[in-house]
Structure 1
Amino acid sequence: MTLDAMDWVWKHSQSKGNTRVALIYVADQVRTSAAEARLSRPDLMAAMNATKNTVRDAIMDALKLGELEIVQSSAGRRAALYRLPGAVGYSRKGSDVDPLESRRGSDVDPLQGDTPSGRGSDVDPLESVEGQVSTRRGSEVDPLPHPSKTLASSEPEKLDGFQICQPLVRAMTEAGITVSWSMKPADWLDIATVVQRAGVPAMVAFARDAKAAARQKPRYATFFLRGGWRGLPPASNVPPPRPSSTGKPPHCGHPDCDPVSRTREVEDDRGLRSLHNCPDCHPTHAKGHAA
């Protein structure tokens, strides 16, 4: 189905520039003969490597051309459902398509099985496009499910990010900071980078302070990622100072005290100068001498 939809865009679409890139990405996500795909705004932004406004303009142009329809507008965590009307029932030359399957698929929501999907005739395109899932900048809403259910074996780097974060997840829970860890794979990688740089204790301490200062209880781990985890400094690898093997206290720093002998030159009443143990570096000796 994807190849048919892609073939239609390449050969029959009148779109240009970013609008064509958006239609190609929608076609690439089509999995049924209904030529429908459910996509969020962040998905389109990532695929097009473009800003929110650029994606919005591209979708609007495609709607005006009649080459894209919004079957269902976004609602809450559910992304919008798009359709390529020209690709419905379309087949490349030499491909075999079951006409009954094509007809049946046009009435089926690809994410709801046999549940009929909306026709989109009552959907306001402007309202639908503006109402799509938030870009998540400053928002805790994430339209994607937990990566443990979506990460493919062909993406080991994302799976590694998830595994690296597990000590942090346990430490946060043990500290009483219970939040949702439903995030994009890219967020897992971002947090894993902070774990390796700053360390779990620093991240838990920051989250505890941020939770106490927040007006509302944080519900998602991304709240802390965007709120300051990225800015945590690297964990210090400098070991604590070791005690002196000689048992001597550190040098007092007095300008008249010799740092090696720990003695000071003192002048008596007759103007004669002599060396005496520094009372700061040798407090015990000084007390005994005073006694």
Structure 2
Amino acid sequence: MSLDAMDWVWTKSAAKGTARMVLLAIADKCPDDQCTAYAGTTMLVQRTNAARSSVVTAVDKLLKGGELRVVDGSKGPRGETVYRLPQAVGHVRGAAEVSRFGGPKSGPVQIPDRSGIRTPGGTASGPQGYGNRTPTGPESGPQNAYERNHQAEQQPRATRSPLIPELHPLGDALAAAGVAVRWTLGLGEQRDVFQLVKAHGVEALVDLAARRTAPGTEAKPARYWLKVWGDLGRPASAHPGPNVVPLRVPGPAAYADNLAAGLALLQAQKEGTR
């Protein structure tokens, strides 16, 4: 990168806010003293951690103000726009800056030995424990998303089952029978399912679920099965009362029998009131 170009932005540029950050991001990519670099809008959004519309507006301001120019006829490797910082060409950092970053008069940059230093909150791997700290602010933007996701993949994932231990046999039996269940029950609802297990047994619950699940059916929520299993404790039809005639299977003979039974019931009621 061109440290002279970046120094010009810090000390000479009149740009402010997002425009200044955009100019610094481009200067940081300048490979030599020509102060020319390619930069796409997506890259500038990532580096400045600003909204895309803000970056576009900032580039327009810099172009209008003359601190940034587009190099016509040139493109980056992915079609990025090539910019030039015309006013930064020929700018040389001050003697203090040259001495700080290294240069012809300063000799090689001396890196202090930190092998025996343990900084607060970190390790000896870098100053201020940078290698172990969690990025915040601009560092948490899109440009660091890959690093954060990669680190997250290295963390061991929990394998705890969402079911209470009492329901593990039921869950295993349902899975073995090909019944997919989304276990999203609260603790109280899981206890209700366990009461059904104690009342009817795992086999009865699994059998009912299997009969109501067609091959290839997507997983149903456990609340659906809780309602279905709740019907196991109820009779198929209510016991007939004194004024209820139990119906038989529909058919010509059944209708005649039902009519005869109804007439007999009415006759019995009349005789009882005399």
TM over 0.5: no
Greater helix proportion: 2
Task: Answer 1 or 2: higher relative contact order, Cα 8 Å, separation at least 6.
Answer: 1
Calculate the TM-score normalised by the size of structure 2. 0.38
State the TM-score, normalized to the length of structure 1: 0.36
Larger radius of gyration: 2
